[in-house]
Amino acid sequence: MDTREPLVRSDWAIYRGGAIFFNGAEDCALEDSFIDQVGGNAVFVNNYNRRVTIRGTQIAKAGASEFVLLATAGGAQPVVQLLSDSQAGRD
C-alpha cells in the first residue's frame, strides 16, 4: 500500500485506493455487505461523488481505514450517506 500522497497542511499521508472505490459516482449504493481483512482501506470515496449510500455493511479487520471520504484540495467534496446500520470495527 503506497502512502506517499501527503494530505494538505498535515504530516499524514494517504493511499488513494480501497477494496471498494467510488470516484465520480452518482446514485450508487453499497448495501448489506461484509468486508473482511482487506489489508488496506475498505471503502474509499474519492473526489467528486453524489448520492452514494452505504447501508447495512459490516467491516472487520480492514488493515487501514474502514471508510475514507477525501477530496483533492480545492476540488468537489464527496457527498455520502452513511446509515446507522453499517458497522465498522477491528474485532
- Would you state the pLDDT for residue 12? 80
In which order are the strands placed within the sheet that holds 43-46? 20-23, 43-46, 67-70
DSSP 44-76: EEESS-EEEEEES-EEE--BS-SEEEE--TTSP
- The pTM (predicted TM-score) of the whole model is 0.77
Q: Could you give the CA distance from residue 79 to residue 6 in angstroms, rounded to a whole number?
A: 22
Give, for all 91 residues of the chain, the pLDDT tens digit.
666 677 777 778 888 899 999 999 999 999 999 999 999 999 999 988 888 999 999 999 999 999 998 887 666 655 566 655 656 664 5
- Would you state the pLDDT for residue 10? 74
